[in-house]
């Protein structure tokens, strides 16, 4: 992710990992948007909207993300 904080984010089934923090999350898909609801960790109780902008990229208010392998 580039933007407010430049870091690697891993999205997995039911969780995300950023800077060594693993948080339990839920995903809701609405057209080209993915709402990630945080169920644990420092972001508990919040949600972030990610908009799919291409086959390997998404955008959020925190920055742009590119898929890497």
Give the per-residue pLDDT at 68: 85
Give the per-residue pLDDT at 69: 74
Looking up residue 16, the CATH number of its domain turns out to be: 2.40.128
Structural domain total, the chain? 1
How far is 65 from 45, CA to CA, in rounded Å? 22
Give the per-residue pLDDT at 1: 64
Q: pLDDT digits over 44-54, tens only?
A: 999 999 999 99
**pTM for the structure as a whole:** 0.82
Range of the domain at 51: 2-66
Judge residue 1's burial from the number of C-beta atoms within 10 Å of its C-beta, 0-12 exposed, 13-18 middle, 19 or more buried. Answer: middle
Q: Is 20 helix (H, G, I), strand (E, B) or coil?
A: coil
Q: pLDDT digits over 7-48, tens only?
A: 888 999 999 998 889 999 999 999 999 999 999 988 899 999
């Amino acid at each position: 992710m580039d933007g407010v904080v430049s870091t690697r984010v891993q999205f997995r089934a039911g969780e995300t990992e950023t800077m060594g923090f693993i948080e339990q999350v839920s995903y809701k898909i609405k057209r080209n948007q993915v709402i990630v609801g945080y169920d644990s960790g420092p972001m508990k109780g919040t949600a972030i909207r990610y908009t799919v902008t291409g086959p390997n990229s998404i955008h959020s208010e925190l920055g742009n993300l590119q898929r890497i392998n």
